[in-house]
């Protein structure tokens, strides 16, 4: 689970960007932290970079395909 210290630096929102899921090998639609919905492994990634493939080290094959979901959007000013 993503952690943070200061309450004022994150804002909770309801947005479809956080419910959409993404396949490994596709580009991240937003910069931020993504979580594998199967094994809870988290990554930080820049917008447009490729979400890690099935072969990333921490995902047990027994859980099936990786499904990435955005958990924290990195807002650029
Ligand atoms: Zn995983």
Query: Mean pLDDT throughout 53-76?
Result: 88
> CA-CA distances (angstroms) from residue 20 to 4, 23, 73?
23, 10, 13
DSSP, collapsed to helix, strand or coil, labels residue 50 as strand
Nearest to 74 by CA among 39, 42, 33: 33
* Total tally of structural domains belonging to the chain: 1
Q: Is residue 18 part of a domain?
A: no
pLDDT by residue (tens digit) across 21-47? 999 999 999 999 999 999 999 999 999
| Residue 44 domain flag | yes
Domain that holds residue 45: 25-77
**CA proximity to 74, closest of 36, 51, 49, 46:** 46
Share of the chain above pLDDT 90, in %: 83
15 CA to centre of ligand 1 in angstroms? 23
Gap from CA of 59 to ligand 1 centroid (Å): 4
State the pLDDT at residue 76. 81
The residues with which 45 forms a beta bridge, in sequence order, are: 32
Q: From ligand 1's centre to the CA of 5, what distance in Å?
A: 25
Alpha carbon of 29 to ligand 1 centroid (Å): 19
Residue 32 lies in a domain: yes
């Amino acid at each position: 689970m993503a952690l943070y210290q200061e309450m004022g630096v994150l804002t909770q929102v309801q947005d479809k960007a956080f419910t959409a899921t993404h396949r490994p090998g596709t580009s991240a639609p937003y910069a931020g932290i993504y979580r594998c919905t199967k094994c809870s492994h988290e990554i930080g990634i820049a917008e447009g970079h490729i979400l890690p493939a099935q072969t990333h080290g921490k995902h047990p094959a027994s859980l099936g395909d990786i499904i990435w979901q955005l958990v924290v959007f990195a807002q650029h000013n």
